[in-house]
Every structure is written in C-alpha cells, then in structure tokens.
Structure 1
Amino acid sequence: MRAIFFVILSCFLVIAPKSYSNSLDNLSDSLHHVIQTQTSHHQMDALLSSVRKHKNKLGKDYIPLLMQYAQRARQIKYSKGEMKSYDFIGLEYRYRENFDTAYLYHNKSLEMAIKQKDSTQLFYNYNNLGQVFRKQDITAVAIDYFHKALEISNAVGNLRSSSYTMNTLGTTHIMQKDYDRAMNYFRQSSEIAKQRNDMRTLAYNYGSMGEVFLIEEEVDSAMYYFKTSRDLLIETGSDKGMGVAEHLIGKAYLVKEDYKNAKQQFELALTYHQQGEDIRYQAYCNGYLGKIAIAEKKYEAAHVYLNLAITQAIKVNSLSNIMKAYTWYAELYKRLNKWEDAYKALEKSHIYADRILNEKSNKTIQALEIGFETKQKEQKIELLAAENQIKNQRLRVGFILLAVLLILIVLITYISNILRKQAILKQNNLRQQVLRVQMNPHFIFNVLGSIQNYMLGNEPQKASHYLSQFASLTRATLEYSTEDTITLSDEINMLKNYMELEQMRTPAKFKFEIIYDQDLETDFIQVPPMLVQPFIENAIKHGFKNIDYTGKLSITISDKEEFVEFVIEDNGTGIKEKSNNKKNHRSMAMEIFKKRRKLIQQKHKKDFKFEVLNLNDINTTLSGVKICIHIPILNDD
C-alpha cells in the first residue's frame, strides 16, 4: 500500500502542474494540495519524505509546507508526523542561524517525544538542541543535551548515532579547551566509524583531531590529519564537508606562513561554501583571505576581503566573524599608520567581543531556566502516570472481586493489597523526587539575581565565571534529582560547590572547611542526595547574617558503619527569636527535610537520627549552632 502511494504521489507531482494549471501550477501548489487531502498515517510519512526530498527546489516555500504538514498531522491526530515536522522546521532555522526560533521548534518536538516516549525522536531532539547551543558557544548546555542523546543511542545499540554524537561532544570540548577529553571522544567515534566503514564520520573526526593538533602548535601533525580528512571525503564522492576540509588545510598553511598555499586553499574552500550557500563560512574565508593579504602587504585587497567578510557576517548575525574582521582591520590600519582608524576598529572588535559574552551569559541563563522547567514537567508527567496506574489497578481488582467465587475473596484481597502497596511505594518514590526538585528554586533565583548584578555592574568576566560554576551545580542537581542515592564523593562535591557559590555571592562573609578522613571510601558509600544542604543554607543566610566578624562553618564527616555522621558547626548568632518570615523560611526547610527523612525510613527500614544544639545553651562563651545528622548508608538497598 505504501509503495503504491509513492508511485501515485510521484505521478501526481509530475502531471499536477498540467492537469491543475489554474490552481496547482508548480511543485509547491501540488504538495500543498496533497497535504490538505491526506488522512492516512502511512501516506503522511511518504508525503513528509517527499517534502524533504524537494527541499532545494521548494526554496522559501519549504518551511511553510512543513508548518502546513504539522497542522494537518495535528488535525488527523498523527503525533509522530507532527513532532517530526517540528524537528525539521527547527533544523532549517538552525541552518539559517536563527537559533532562537530553531530552539522553540526543537523543544516543541521534544515535549511531544517525551509524552510519546519515542526514543528515536528523543535522540534527534537532544542532538539538535545540543547543536543549537554549540553553534552559539553555550557549551555547558550543549554537552548536557549531547550526553542525553548518547545515552539513548547506546541504550538502543545504534552505533551510527553513537559515533556521530561522540564527534559532536569532541568538537564541543574543543570549544571548552578540554583537548584531552575531546581527543578521547574523537578516537572512540573513529573506532566505531572504522567498524561500520563510515568514511564521512571518520573524515570529520580526523579533521577535528587536526584542529586540536593545530591549537597545540603541532602543525605537521595537524596538516596530516587535515589532508587525510579531505582525502576520505573525496572517497565518499560527495562535496559535503569539503569546504571545511579545504579551509582547515588553509589555516595550517597560514600558521606555517606559507601565504601562497594558504590563499589557494581558502579560495578553494570559498568556492565550496558558495555552492552550499553557507554565508557564515563565506565570511570566515573572506576574513582569513583579508588576513593573508595584510601579511603579503596587499592592503587594498585586504580592505576588500575584510569589508566583504563583515557584510556577510552581519547578514547571518555571526558575531565572532565580525569581531575577527575588525581585529584584522585594526592590524591593517596600524600597518598603514592610520592610528585613529586602527583604534576605532579595535574598539568595535571589543564591542562585539562583549556582545558575544553577554549573549552567551543571557542564553545560558535562559537555557538553565527552561531546562529546570522541563525537568519539573517530566517529573509531574511521571507522577501522573503512577497515579493513573494506581487507579487502573484498583479497577482491575474490583472487577475480579465481582467475578470470582466467595472462597477466592481472601486470596484476591491479599493480592490486591500487595499491588496497592507496590504502587503506593512507587508513588512515594516519585513524590520524593518532586520534593527534591522543589528545594531548588529558592537558591536558583538568588543566584540568578547575583549574576544579573554582576552584568549590570559591567563585570562580565565575574558573571561568566559565576555562571559556569552555577551551571555545574544546577546540572548535577537536576541529574541527581531522579536518583535515590549518590556517592558520598558526589555529595561532598555538590556541598563544596554550593558553599563556594555562596562565598562568591557574599565575599569575606564566612570561611568553610570540609573535614573527613582521607581513607574514607567516598566513591563507594551511597547516601541520599542533598539532605545536608538546607542546614548549611540556614547557617550562611541566618547564622552569619548580622555578625561583624568572619563566620566559620565546618562540616565533619565520619563513617559509622551503618550510617555516615555529618556534624555541621558554625560560630554565628545561634538560634534566637526571629521574625515570622524567618521562622517560616526555616520551618519550610525543616518540613521538607522531615518529609524526606520519613520517606527514607519507610522505604529502607533504617534509623535516621538528627540533633540540633544551640552552643550558647551549652556554654555561654560560645555562639552558633551544632547539628549532628546520622544519614543511613544505602549501599545494600
């Protein structure tokens, strides 16, 4: 049936302009007509393939047709077709470097894939969202998405997808200047590509490895990998990727100061980028041709190349290419002794550098907020599913009770109780996860406010550093929020990261130390995550609030066989009468802790003790609070 539809559709697309010359006088009108009349899901799949196949011919009509397809898919309740079309729309906007719109459509597709539990579509969504952020140099968020994609491809055993994602992870780590990790991903990806005889992915890996060698000033090694990458691409018989391969060779020649060969390579690369209508890479090549012309003292040619590079970069809003072009303009004017023009060009370069940093910071904040909201949605969807499961189980038990004989009532009641307890326990587990997520917004919005203050205070470097550390903590919190246990090492690292962030937010307010025996096997002990953090937060925000001396906060960790003892001690003001608002804040944190403690005791059947002491009550010469928590070790559960 599907093959027959392909034949009919192909014939229709050929004869439609003749048979419907009044209304369907071109390919776009033909596809529009076919989309409007389709009701079969299988035929919708074939139709989407046809729209994708004719992308270049459709030109500006390509995205409107995909939008019409998505609307039709929604009308006939074909969720798979709808979410795939949204992903393709996002992909096209990404190619056009309209990253904000690309993100909206990829995320729209992702939300549907989560509800449908479609692992294949989830892989594409996470990968495409990672590419959106990688193209904007928002590497921490990009890596998070790529890791999710890799986890899915590994789980389903899709080696091709795993190899591709490892390559993108490697290129992203280059942007983070983590070259060892980048090379490790490239090698893993290359091994899979060799097994599959995937020359294209292997070529991309060699090109990327060459970039690492070029950064590390091993020019001959870089040149070898660049040329090998180009030769592999030639073997594939396709021009795809050739432009990048040629301009990478040009960069290696430029480092060698072989300007003649460098110029030839960039001109050849420019030809490929023009054929592919890639304006961003055209701007990139023209900028480097301008740099080469400066080195060769061909200043008029340099002016032409750099002016063209800026014009093209502005067209696609490529801030990095604009910044580089103005930097090279400054060098050009310096060579011509036009010092005032050189200063103006350098000033523009700095302005664009600041814009890049500010946009990166703003987009990272937005991505973190959206990621946090998405995580909450996933948790709520899972909780609702569990509640529906409980209702369905009760209905089934009820029907069974009505259908069986009296002598089976006791047995059925026993089975029903077991099922109900299992379902309630699962629901409790999910509620515990939601409770953990609910602990985060209070801290998140305080930190975001501090980042905003740095940005408004024109301190972008501090804002960027603060933001990077905050992203690490938030990512860890979101990751561990779905886990019952984490290693003691991870817990210590999270607490250390949190206290360092608080120190940055209130400089010179307090000092802290984490004390534990170096022989303590922190990597093997499993504990519930983030139970101690609320007490540390209270010590910092309330204990040290009105003191006129440097606060001291110590966390001592000891292994007591069945549990880990955390002793938190500060030299703050201690526990005194507070205003109602402060009481509410502390009681909320304590209430959440008590709920989590109760759930852990209920599930694992282990003691979970804690004690709060006001040091002034023990010794009037002391001030502060000492808290002792016995957190059960959950390795055996």
Structure 2
Amino acid sequence: MPHYVALGKGRCVSIKNLTCERTIHHFMSAKFLLWFGLLFLVSLTVIAQDEATVMHSIDSVHKMAADTNRVRALLSLGRKWAAYFDNKKTDNICWQEAIALSQQLRYNRGLADAYNEIGTDKRNRSQYILAADYHEKAMKYAEETHDDHLIASSLNSIGVDYRRLDNLEKAFDFHYRALQVAEKINDTRNICVATNSIGNIELTDGKNEDAIAQFNRSLHLEEAANNPLGIAINLGNLGYAYQALKKTDLAIDYFKRSLAVNQGMKNNIGIAICYNALGSAYQDKKDYATAMDYLQKALTVNDHVDDKIHIAESYLSIGKLLAKQGKHEEALTNMQQSVDISRQWGFKAMLIDAYQALAGEYKSSRDFEKSLEAMNHSLTYKDSLIADKSATALAQMHTIYAVDRKDSQIKSLEHDKQVSELKRKRNVIVVFSLVIFTIALIVGGFFYIRHRNLKVNRRTLQLELRSLRAQMNPHFIFNSLSSIHRYIWSNNQEEASDYLTKFSRLMRMILDNTQHTFISLNKELESLQLYLDLESLRCNNAFEYHINVADQLNGEEVLIPPMIIQPYVENAIWHGLVHRPEKGRLDIDIKVENRLMTCKVTDNGIGRKLAMEIKERKGKTHHSMGMKVTMGRIELIRKMNNSKDANVKINDLADNQGNPTGTEVVVVLPVEFIF
C-alpha cells in the first residue's frame, strides 16, 4: 500500500512521486520568483501612477478660490481616493485640508461633513473609539448648521460606533435621538437606519418582540422606498428574531425571502449570510442533511467573497454540525481548516472559537492532551485579543488627544490672527473716523445753513397755503348758500330745515378743520360724507355715492390737508352726474402706500367733452374757483415736500365703441402719520 502525505486542500501524492515533485517544485520556485519580481515592479509602477494622479488632483483643487466650493471639492476628492489612502495606511489629506479650510471660513457644514467622512473611515478600519470621537465632533457642527438631515445622519453614525463598542445603552440613546429628528422632517433613510439599529440592539438584549416591531417598521419603509438591500437586511433580522423565539419555521421563511432578494442583487456576502442562517435554523430542527446542504452552499459562495473570515466561519459551522452528528474525523478536519485560514489571515476572534470547538471535540474523543493544547491556544489568542484591544484603545485615545491638541493649536493661531486683524482694523477705523468727523463737520455746517434756508422757505410756503385755504372757505360757503336758496324755493319747510341742520354741522366742521394744516383722514371723510348727503338732497337723490377705504388703512393715523378731495367731488356732481337722465353713481376709493395717498374719484356722468358743450350752449364763462385753488394747494404741497409724487390726473372713461362713460380723477398726495 503506498503512503500518502497531504500537500494542501484537496491534494495528496504518494511518497514515490515526492522526488519528482521536489524537482518540479524547485523549477517552479525560480519561475515564481521571476514572476513575483515582475509583479512587484508593476505594482510599484501602479502605486507611483496613483500617487501622481492624486497629487495632480489635489494641485488642481488648490487652484480654486479658498471658499466653500473648495471645501466641497476636497471632500469629494477625499471620497474618490479613500481606498488609496487606506492602502497607504495614512490619513486622508483631502479631508484634513477640508477641516483646516472650513475652520478658517467658519463653515460648519464643511466641518460636519469632513468629520463624518473621517469617522466612517476609522470605523471601517475597526477604530471604533476614534470613529465615535470624530462622529461626535461632526454632530456638534451639524447642530450649528440647523440641518436636521445632517444631524440625524450624524446621530445614527455615533449609534453604530457605540454598537460596535458593545455599549448598547449609549447606542440606543443616539439611535433614538436620530429617530426623533428624522421623524420630525420625514427623513425616510435615517428613519430606516435608526429603527433597524434599535431593533438589533433590542435583539441583542433579548427583547425579541420589540425587535420584531422595529424590523417590521423598517421593512415597510424600505419596501416603500424600493431599496432591495434594506429589504434583505430587515428580512434576515426578522428571521434571527423569530429563531430566538423558537419559531423556527417562521424564521426559515424570512431567511429564504432574504436569500431571494440577495440573489436578485447578486450580493454574495448577503447570500452566504442567508445560507449560514438557514443552516443554523435547520440544525435547530435537527434536519442535519438540509443544514449541511446550506452550510456547504455558504462555503461555495464564500470562495467568491474577498473577506476570508467568512470562509473560516463556514468551515467552523460545518465542523460543529458534523460533531453533532458524531462524525468526529470530518468534524476535526473542517475545524482545523478554520484554524489554518484564521491563522493565515490573523482572525484572532475566530481562532478563539475554533480552538474551543477543537478542544471540545478532542475531549469527546477522550484525547485530553490535544483538548488541553487546543484550549490553551484558545486562551492565548483570547489574551492576545484583549491585549490588542487595550493597545488599540490606548493608541486611539492618544490619537484623540493629539487631534484635540492640534485643533486647539489651530484655534489658538486663528484667535491670534483674529486679534491682530482686529487691531489693524481698529487703527484703520480710528483714521477713518477722524477723516469722517472732519467731513461731517463740513457737511453738517453746509446742511445746517441749507436747513435754515429751507425752514424759512417752508414758512413762506405754509403762509401761501393758508392763504389759499382761506380762499376755499368763502368759495365753498357761497356755493352751499346758493344751494340752500334754491332748495328753500323749490321744497317744503321741513326738508329745508333738515338741510339747514346738516349745512350748519358741515360749516362747523369746515371752520374747525381749516384751522389746521393737516387733519385726520377720518375727519376729512366725515365732512365729505356730510357734503355728499347735502348735494344728494339738493339734486333730489339724482345720484348715489360710495366711499371705499382700503382695509389695512387706519384713518385716525393718516393726516392730510383739509378739503383737498371735495372740489373734485363737487366737479363730478355738477359737471357729470346732474346731466344724466338716469340715476348716477359716484365712487371714491382711497388707499395709502409708501407714505403716498391715492384717491380716485370716479363718476359715470356724461364726460368732460359733453359737459363743455353744455356749458358753451348756456354761455357760461365761469371757471371753477375750487379746482383752481386746489391745484394751487397741491403745487405748494409738492414744493414743501420736495416731491414730484404729488399730482392730479384726469382720465376720460369710454366704452368699447368710444362713447363716454364718465370721468376718473386720480389725486396722489404725500401724507403724514401721527406715529
């Protein structure tokens, strides 16, 4: 019988062929060294090319202006070349520059984004303490931006860091805060992350029913968003929760649904996880054949996954299943495969589990010496892992201290720079203040003299305005007395008495109002309404009138010259409305905008052209004194306010055929306010 020795996975040769094998091996070794040298040179060339490309990209960004656009460009460049910096095991200089520039610009959004990028990069390198520190810095700056999406994302990132550190209480707190912020703004992505993470924490804590509720909520949101990866993760998590509740058939159903989604995405890691989960579930049902089938499938898929820890995990799971079936030799072989792969790649946590499994298997085979040896190996790796974790934690704490110290130095330098800048600005301000003070004295003297001259001119104009206003009073009284005279001769005494009562009230108001340069709009409208009532009675209700004041206008606060509207109303009545065969209509619309009052007096009378013809036929040569005096008053108001806005426009209204339909007078005046 020939003797065989193992040369590797799936390969055995007889001793007779070893000499030939060794000869071939030496030849192949020389060839291998040649190829290795060539590959090494090629890799060096690729690295050099990558470095040149990175430096060229960074130089291009440096040509940009030192503003927020450069910060965003640096962040984008850092993400593009993240793998390059990871392979070099150096800090991403793009993100570091983004932080320095954002601090200089006080750009909180840039600081939050940069710290989030660095934190996630540290977490991907398993530096969870550093990751949490960077993400907490990001959250602080995110809160300064008041951007709830950024705040929720930062809180979720911190929660994941603390989950990796097995600090479930802190992890739950941060994910819950992220959920509250995300729900407030209906941020579906962060709601899904938070609910799924809270579910995982509750699953770890043994609160399986609560975990199922969280996973279901996250699943519904992911389905609504049509996110297959999120759907697959939540289906798998539901499977683990139901497996923990001993509802194995339901767990298998969810694992299979998750497997189908992962297969649709061709996600090998997800497929392998589902196969392993199904193997574990069928193992719980003691259906060892089906369990082995799924674990073998997981092993096959893991061959296509870059992370070799999954292959080691598959071999260990298969070994444990074979041990349960009493197939000790095969179990030992698979467990040893897991050990070999884990030792090759340095998976210390996996080595602890694999050696523990080997120790148990050797013990069941009553090979106590090998069992003890395996247990010693497990404890050695456990101690080494603890030491590594302590050293890593210490190194990360030193890094945090160094980063904080560097940030403090940057802030101190920035503060000194700001102090120097403030001193320089103070000196400039002092010089400018002296120059401005001198100019102010000169300009002030000029304006004082000018103001004194304007004051004298204003007093002169006010005297002229009072003179014109005094001319308005006898003019209006004369017209009103003429109306009373006609009314008494053509109507009964009772109506004449009522007319005289209203007229006396109107006279009292006019005498009172004309004592003042300005009166409130409400007082002007009250006297105008009384005047319109008298004219309506006088004309046997030949017209109706409507006074419309803008809703937002407070008539008590607005001050206007007295009797400024009445002449235009009188003109509309006596030259437009009284000649209509039908009942006429008079509209007075008032509004105030930007300290200017616009008053529109609109009638549906016969129009100016026909009124002039009637006037010419009657041989009247009288010109309206009220209109002439009012135009003079408006001209003086324009001069007093040094404004071109005060004016009067008269528009002839006509229908589509060009027939006159009335007249519109638009009076624009500057107004005063009580407050």
Task: Give the TM-score, by structure 1 length.
Answer: 0.47
Task: Give the TM-score, by structure 2 length.
Answer: 0.44
- For the pair shown, the structure with the greater C-alpha radius of gyration is 2
